Amino acid sequence: MWSTFIVALGLLLLVTTVTSVMLGRYIGVRFKPVAERPDYFMKHTETKWLKRLRLDERGSQSWVGYARDFLILNTFFLLFGYGLLRFQGMLPLNPNGADNLEWHVALHTIVSFMTNTDQQHYAGEALSHLSQTFVLTTVMFVAPTMAMTMSLAFIRGILNKPIGVFFADFIRLIVHVLLPISLFFGLLFISLGVPQTFSANVNVTTLEGAIQVIQRGPVASFEVIKQLGNNGGGYFATNAAHPFENPNEWTNYIQMFLMLLLPMSMPFIYGQISGRRRQGFLYFGVMLSLFLIGTVAMFAVLHSTPSLHGQEVRFGIVGTALYSAITTAAETGAVNAMHDSLPSLAGLILMGNMMLNVVFGGAGAGFMNFMIYVIITIFVAALLIGHTPSLLGKKVEAREMKLVALTLIVSPLLILVFSGVALFMPEGRDAITNSGAHGISQILYEYTSAVANNGSGFEGLLDGTVFWNITTTFAMFFGRYVPLLLMLAIAGSFQSKPMIHSEEALRTDTGLFAVVLIGIILIVGALTFLPVLVLGPLTEWLTLQ
């Protein structure tokens, strides 16, 4: 079994790494600042069209202008999506007669999808075809693109280059990157058995003569962008465990490939834009090491406590272990097994991946989180050797470190405070379906997933109530927008500083730096959450011994 796992993991990583190096180069070239951008296919047509749409790229925005346009477009989609979900019952493309969503369900759903979380407190089957395609499929393109534009601006900012123009970056990312990949893999999914139809559900007569409803819809278009964009929401209630979303081993591996693709290409995009390829590979290596720790541990746990409870036969233990580790590492949140039913220690690993949020992390957002740890490491290491800390030739000073500390504190603050409140209030505790230590895990997992914008869940939790919809809406909203804006502010702060023209005291592209960085990520990231992880999954594991 171990040999199957190692071969599967090795092949998957080989294919995704090679592809993401190429994709990183492809994106990096196209998203350099305008003045440095070389010629590429259709460049002139594109410039003409952008001008026609009044999205001229020549004047770069300040980070404040970039952030303002980011917020405006987010507001636009939040309002538009909320309206259509709230009144889907009266709108067309509703052959199965789905009802309007209640206000708190509609609010939770649109915030969930716009923040790239895709936590779902409704059953997937409760939405009309219009809501699934026109609203959610669109938003699943929008959400990862938002994070990627912010990370591009962040990269340009710390590299002392023009920040860029938000709306142009946004539409160009969709046209150059997300749409072409989605079209190809969407068609591949259909060929492998994922349905794509606007027809109504169909009634069949089973071999034993009963009438069975076969629920279907435009699943393939939903599925492909859900994985590629690290969205992770299910078309159906049980997400990618449902045989229509994930019919066989092939779709299972392609989905894992898609989840990893954009997050893995981020360090290479950085390498391309900065011209520091070696640095890009080093960052990639650090993330990969963290990824391997979690993924190997995940398989070891499933292998030592065999059970197919909440799992599907067609994926086997290898396919389930890999998928659940990857979906939490890349902050996608798609699940091919019910995480609630996985062994207790598996829950610990999955929550650990989400709490760190840099084991590749979601497209764009993960890389920015990672750079926060890089800045901390530079700060700590430089002080240890008695030098002025500097990032890419700019001094790291009190202002940046305050913003970094603030960014770091957001996610533990939200996760721990909301979990505490839910454990304290009857509305929170009543949702627990597995008593004892696992009940704490159910609540902790829900908020961790919300704040990290992952979206998977310990789905036994009865979270379809006003209390849960509202608290997780806040957790997702602040967990998304506050760090993204703070991180752009950090880049803006670096950009406004003069270069110090001395030799870099501390090299950031050496093995030593990588080791210190891994240490800092594990110490800062893991220690914050250790006490609560002891109360939840570790206690459950101990009581089972």
Partner 1 sequence: MRKEWGQAGIVAGLTTVLCGVLFPSFLLVTGQLFFDDRAQGSLVEREGEWVGSMLIAQPFTSDNYFHGRPSAVDQLTGQSGGDNLAESHPDRPAYDSTMPGAVETSGSGLDPHISLEHATAQVERVAEARGLQPDAVRAVIEDVSNGGTYVNVLRLNLQLDESGQ
Chain residues 51-80 in contact with partner 1, contact rule CB under 8 A:
53-55, 68-69, 72-73, 76-77, 80
* Residues 448-487: x where in contact with partner 1 by CB under 8 A, - otherwise, as a string: ----------xxx---------------------------
190 binding partner 1? (CB under 8 A) = yes
CB of 79 to partner 1, least distance (A): 10
Nearest residue to 22 via CA among 168, 181, 146 = 181
CB of 201 to partner 1, least distance (A): 7
CB of 221 to partner 1, least distance (A): 4
Is the Cβ of residue 242 or residue 394 nearer to partner 1 in the bound state? 242
Query: What's the CA gap between 46 and 23, in Å, rounded?
Result: 20
Q: Which of 98, 142, 262, 349 binds partner 1 (CB under 8 A)?
A: 142
Q: Which of 24, 28, 195, 352 binds partner 1 (CB under 8 A)?
A: 195
DSSP secondary structure letters along 64-120: HHHHHHHHHHHHHHHHHHHHHHHTGGGSSS-TT-PPPPPHHHHHHHHHHHHTT----
CB of 190 to partner 1, least distance (A): 4
202 binding partner 1? (CB under 8 A) = yes
196 binding partner 1? (CB under 8 A) = yes
24 binding partner 1? (CB under 8 A) = no
Is the Cβ of residue 79 or residue 417 nearer to partner 1 in the bound state? 79
DSSP state letter for 359: S
Is the Cβ of residue 142 or residue 521 nearer to partner 1 in the bound state? 142
Is the Cβ of residue 205 or residue 511 nearer to partner 1 in the bound state? 205
Q: Which of 31, 63, 134, 513 binds partner 1 (CB under 8 A)?
A: 134
CB of 518 to partner 1, least distance (A): 30
Is the Cβ of residue 312 or residue 331 nearer to partner 1 in the bound state? 312
316 binding partner 1? (CB under 8 A) = yes
Q: Which of 60, 100, 160, 434 binds partner 1 (CB under 8 A)?
A: 434
Exposure string (b/e) for 143-182, b if CB count within 10 Å is 16 or more? bbbbbbbbbbbbbbbbbebbbbbbbbbbbbbbebbbeebb
Residue 210, CB-side half-sphere exposure with 13 Å CA sphere: 4
Q: Which of 200, 433, 465, 482 binds partner 1 (CB under 8 A)?
A: 433
42 binding partner 1? (CB under 8 A) = no
Of 38-46, 133-141, 358-366, 506-514, the window that binds partner 1 (rule: CB under 8 A) is 133-141
Is the Cβ of residue 195 or residue 483 nearer to partner 1 in the bound state? 195
Helix (H) or strand (E) holding 390: strand 390-391
Classified as helix, coil or strand, 395 is strand
Alpha helices in 131-178 (DSSP H): 138-158, 166-173
Structure tokens at 93: 């493309």
The count of other CB atoms within 10 Å of the CB of residue 127 is 24
Q: Which of residues 436-455 bind partner 1 (CB under 8 A)?
A: 436-438, 441
Q: What is the dihedral of CA 63, 478, 290, 361, to 10 degrees?
A: -60
* Residues 205-244: x where in contact with partner 1 by CB under 8 A, - otherwise, as a string: xxxx-xxxxxxx-x-xxx--x----------xxx--xxxx
Is the Cβ of residue 6 or residue 202 nearer to partner 1 in the bound state? 202
Strand-pair category, 211-214 with 202-205: antiparallel
Helix (H) or strand (E) holding 204: strand 202-205
Q: Which of residues 356-415 bind partner 1 (CB under 8 A)?
A: none
Q: Which of 17, 60, 341, 465 binds partner 1 (CB under 8 A)?
A: 341
Instruction: Specify the residue for token string 């180069």.
Output: 25
Give residues with Cβ within 8 angstroms of 145, minimum separation 6.
Answer: 170, 173, 174, 178, 229
Query: What's the CA gap between 199 and 185, in Å, rounded?
Result: 22
The count of other CB atoms within 10 Å of the CB of residue 78 is 18
Q: How many residues lie near partner 1 (CB under 8 A)?
A: 100
Helix (H) or strand (E) holding 539: helix 539-544
Q: Output the CA–CA distances (angstroms, integers) from residue 347 to 212, 362, 365, 510, 537, in the order listed.
A: 35, 19, 23, 34, 6
Is the Cβ of residue 136 or residue 520 nearer to partner 1 in the bound state? 136
Q: Which of 203, 398, 498, 511 binds partner 1 (CB under 8 A)?
A: 203
Q: Which of 7, 11, 22, 123 binds partner 1 (CB under 8 A)?
A: 123
